[in-house]
Structure 1
Amino acid sequence: MNTLQHSIMYFCSMSESENNHSNRSQGDILKKLNIKKKKAPKERTFTEKPKTQVQAKQNIESAADKVELVATCMQNLENELAEELKVLGADKIKVQKRAVRFEGDLELLYKANIWLRTALKVLKPLFNFRAKSDDELYAQAKKIKWETVFTEDKTFSIDFAVHSEYFNHSQFAALRLKDAIVDYFREIGRNRPSVERDQPDVRIHLHINDNNVTLSLDSSGDPLFKRGYRRERLAAPINECLAAGLILKTGWKGEQDFLDPMCGSGTIAIEAALIASNIPPNLNRTHFAFESWNNYDQALLSKVLGEATEMFKPLKCKIFARDTNSQAIRATRVNISAANMRKHIILENEDFFKAKAPSEKGIIVMNPPYGERLNVSGDLVSFYEKIGSTLKHEYSGWSAWVITSEIDSFKNIGLKASKKIPMMNGKLECQFREYELFDGKLKEKKAK
């Protein structure tokens, strides 16, 4: 998917298309961007010496310098992301809308990309200025000494997030920024750097809010929800960052058994296994955008990855993934294997409404079919009534969390929710509700 069409941006929630890897036709403006054919990413090795590069001032001066960084996220996952950054040792953490600002050094930048479960991107803001037109954007951007950011032998791409009445065409704003960069290099007597759509050396993020323009370097490359284990997918799979965020909101960290009774392609169960085992979600990623920066420190990244493997924890609970659909079971089995979680997850072809609870107590995180995934036998009312009845009669002693965009259907579950959390799943407004399950009536439980 084109980088300019597929932007993961702060202050902007993810759309369903961000999890769709299909190609789209290019518009006239995109054709002007001189986009090259996709190159396969280089496989990371730590035995070879770093290549000699032209020394240009880079976004982070040295490994010890602390700079401002921005981690972007989905709506209502800001607090979970901030807590993750706190654990990593980030300084001056500030929660914003669909983003968290913080300070850190080069090592923290590497750790953030590897460890953050709820972050979509980690950005390094470079320049900020004001503009009220595409021409003013071009003029201001052309004043920047771009050779201090990257050299002309590097390829680059631009993604964008534009929320402004002054800029009606987001792609054209990105095009004008591209023009400013290449024209700057030409005017200082350098060669014109090329635009590369899929695997650029440098990724520049354009963010416009009203007349405030921020240009950042993208340190992540592909969005961090692309963990690499999703080899098979069903209709509208839940985003990996959202799945991890939902689990973190429950407070579960592997202390008790875990069940996803409608597992689809297995994302929630896999993210649960990664959390319980303290395995970084992007440990096996083959490339990050920061590996093309002039100050890339191979030895430091090797150290961060090595330390991460030493922090694995043995699994102390059972994690169950169930589904009644044979295609879902097949997809989950493939994805579990790709995630190296075969020993961590118990996969069962079971009907939630007929099967017994796998253990006496535990936690359920359930993502029933809805929206694009809605294909249930019978009507929606009876489907959610059956969910409530099954939870009440078969899962006493458990805690159940349910996310759905069918907000009115919650009342058909027939149980009183102890927590109600608004969420977004792509463009769908959802709620994530907790039900504490027990024998008898609520009044009797409170009396005890």
Structure 2
Amino acid sequence: MENFKMTAKTFFGFEEILAKELQLLGAQKIEIGTRVVSFMGDKGFMYKANLALRTALKILKPIHTFKAYNDKSLYEGIKKMDWSEYLNEHQTFLVETTLHSEHFNHSQFVALKTKDAIVDQFRELNGKRPSIDKDFPDLQIHIHIDRDTVTVSLDTSGASLHHRGYRSATNIAPINEVLAAGMLILSGWEGKSHFLDPMCGSGTILAEAAMIACNIPANINRKEFAFEKWTDWDAELFDNILESLLKKTREFHYTIKGYDKAPSAVTKAKDNVRNANLDEYITITNENFFDSKKETEGPLHMVFNPPYGERLDIDMERFYREIGDTLKQNYPNTNAWFITANLEALKFVGLKPSRKIKLFNGKLEARLVKYEMYEGSKKGKYMNTDE
């Protein structure tokens, strides 16, 4: 099978870890861009990347590039391509666009022009034409225009890869699965200690943490990928790739726990963890973090997504102070990481973060912060005191 170029889209701040994931999977010629990483691989690798990558949102397969300065040259460039390679008149398609251009600034107009060019090509050839389907298209086409360069790609994934397939129930503003996985990887989580999410909501961070710990492919529970509707779909190859990934799963010898003070969240989290077939690894209880104490011996890895002012009506100053107090008093020998878009509230934690990483949660600029809680006081670690 021949290699071809692909592009994986991701969130700002995840480019390096996505490149590392690709390298470990066996991708070739990896190049890092902004919110994208390009690489080379064959059809089997395309299947593998969609199944296994934790921090990719979409995997696109570029098929053609040309220059366009106006709607006429865009239409002609699309129409010159041989669309019968990818589509027939009985099938459906959908066009998505990303624009960074002075010549084109209306994405729906670009999508419409692309659709017209494809439909006209078929109609002129045999009098029949494929139609648009916004929900379940047979082919998803992605048009990226950067200044005057048009890149036409096929979307290999379909729905964004954060739709893992295990989350049926969510709370208010649940964290995106790709964002959760990226935070865990940035935090250094590899499954080599006990894990706690003390504000677990609908359980996304817990599920992603268990899949990382056991090296379970991120999209094992997903119902379908766009490439399954392609003319060259190879079900046997896909099954072989999946089988080879599942052989690389590993045992996990620690605990993964989640707390939430809302009983409804605990119920939803348990449902989602069960859907992901991860309930043997994860325990979820109805508990208020601020009343809790560290339960395990040895180091503890903590990652969580506390509520921001955008989501819940709470006293931010008091809430963040309680996070700091609880960590300080009740969680020795713990690496605690959390994400917040309330940068002002971080001042009230009362602890100095040892790491701060800029990320985006949706459109909100956020920080992923790390607090290192030592056994006893930090001072006591280095010197004898008379206490």
- TM-score computed with the length of structure 2 as normaliser: 0.96
Matched, 1:217 2:154: yes
8 Å CA contact 1:403–1:433 kept in 2: the answer is: yes
Shift of 1:136: 2.1
Select which of 43, 68, 89 maps to 2:26: 89
8 Å CA contact 1:182–1:193 kept in 2: the answer is: yes
The code of the aligned residue for 1:130 comes to K
1:402 is paired with a residue whose SS is strand
Matches within 5 A, 1:68-217: 68-189=5-126, 191-217=128-154
Select which of 370, 381, 403 maps to 2:339: 403
How large is the RMSD of aligned CA atoms in angstroms?
A: 1.5
2:289 is paired with a residue whose SS is coil
In the other structure, the counterpart of 1:8 is: none
Shift of 1:445: 4.0
The code of the aligned residue for 1:164 comes to S
1:161 is paired with a residue whose SS is strand
Cα distance change of structure 1 residues 447 and 81 upon mapping to structure 2, 3 Å threshold: farther
Matched, 1:389 2:314: no
Q: Which runs of 5 or more structure 2 residues have no equivalent in the other structure?
A: none
Deviations 1:146-199 (A, max 9, x none): 112322232111111112222121101110000011011122235211111111
More strand by share: 2
Matched, 1:333 2:276: no
Shift of 1:410: 1.1
Matched, 1:369 2:303: no
The code of the aligned residue for 1:245 comes to G
8 Å CA contact 2:332–2:376 kept in 1: the answer is: no
8 Å CA contact 1:236–1:372 kept in 2: the answer is: no
The code of the aligned residue for 2:226 comes to A
Deviations 1:366-415 (A, max 9, x none): 21001432233xx2111111100110111110100011001111111111
Select which of 230, 236, 240 maps to 1:299: 236
8 Å CA contact 1:124–1:216 kept in 2: the answer is: yes
Deviations 1:21-43 (A, max 9, x none): xxxxxxxxxxxxxxxxxxxxxxx
Aligned mates of 1:184, 1:443 — CA distance in 2: 74
Deviations 1:285-324 (A, max 9, x none): 2211111112111110010112222222222110001010
Shift of 1:348: 0.9
Aligned mates of 2:337, 2:191 — CA distance in 1: 15
Shift of 1:447: 6.4
Select which of 280, 285, 296 maps to 1:343: 280
Deviations 1:183-228 (A, max 9, x none): 1112223521111111111110011122221110011111110011
- TM-score computed with the length of structure 1 as normaliser: 0.83
Cα distance change of structure 1 residues 350 and 170 upon mapping to structure 2, 3 Å threshold: same
Percent identity between matched residues is 46
Aligned mates of 1:338, 1:117 — CA distance in 2: 18
Aligned mates of 1:417, 1:355 — CA distance in 2: 21
Shift of 1:141: 1.1
Cα distance change of structure 1 residues 126 and 330 upon mapping to structure 2, 3 Å threshold: same
Aligned mates of 1:358, 1:176 — CA distance in 2: 60
Cα distance change of structure 1 residues 315 and 188 upon mapping to structure 2, 3 Å threshold: same
Identify the range of structure 1 (164-173 vs 200-209) with the bigger mean alpha-carbon deviation.
164-173
1:284 is paired with a residue whose SS is coil
Matched, 1:282 2:209: no
The code of the aligned residue for 2:62 comes to P
8 Å CA contact 1:387–1:413 kept in 2: the answer is: yes
Deviations 1:406-438 (A, max 9, x none): 111111111111111000000110000111101
Shift of 1:341: 1.3
Aligned mates of 2:306, 2:221 — CA distance in 1: 30
Matched, 1:354 2:268: no
Select which of 357, 371, 385 maps to 1:435: 371
The code of the aligned residue for 2:168 comes to R
8 Å CA contact 1:152–1:190 kept in 2: the answer is: no
